[in-house]
Chain A
């Protein structure tokens, strides 16, 4: 489950520099970002091997509605 620390890190992070990218948060901080989910995820697992990163995509356009 997402840790409270990572969720608080997401809620307080300034994500302006990551528009259009996936962002991974571990220990409450952004530790990797990449347009590719897999690259951001793998790098986050490499940097935080014993913890669970929290990932999100910063939208670069208005979200498609299904």
Chain B
């Protein structure tokens, strides 16, 4: 599967070419089609509070602070089913996610490594502004 980088505008500065992929998150309450940022620097996937609530994820358990360049935020960890489709390729599997509990957080949806990157051989081709996901056999 190949996905082109998307040029996303920024408030201060030029637009940035960003590696994004379309996925469906399937939770206990709802399933939502979302364009997520594929973030090889993120240990784990991250959802904003409103998305976690809409999916019906359990936000009461596995709470912990989580740190990054933007500082430390309180999160709740759960699992969500993720589906990714392109052409005849169609993959569905569960990944862990951290839901940022601060309703004022401006975090976008990030797909991090745990649970996702081991499902594929992933290439970030900066020159061609393209991500390639090649399915690999589960370990």
Contact = CB atoms under 8 A, between A and B. Distances in A.
Partners in one complex: yes
Sorting the interface of chain B by its residue count into under 10, 10 to 19, 20 to 34 or 35 or more gives 35 or more
Contact of B83 (A1, A36, A58, A59): A1
A55 B32 contact: yes
B110 A66 contact: yes
A41 B32 contact: yes
B33 A57 contact: no
A1 to B, nearest CB: 4
B23 interface: yes
A36 B50 contact: yes
Contacts of B39: 63, 65-66
Overall SS of chain A's interface:
loop
A11 B50 contact: no
Nearest to B71: A64
A58 B9 contact: yes
A53 B54 CA distance: 14
Given A2-B24, A66-B44, A60 B69 contact: no
B35 A56 contact: yes
A31 to B, nearest CB: 13
A43 B85 CA distance: 25
A15 B68 CA distance: 26
16 contacts: A1-B24, A1-B83, A1-B85, A2-B23, A2-B33, A15-B9, A19-B11, A59-B10, A59-B106, A61-B11, A62-B69, A63-B37, A64-B70, A64-B71, A64-B107, A66-B68
Q: Which 4 A-B pairs rank lowest in CB-CB distance, beginning with the nearest?
A: A64-B70, A56-B35, A37-B50, A2-B22
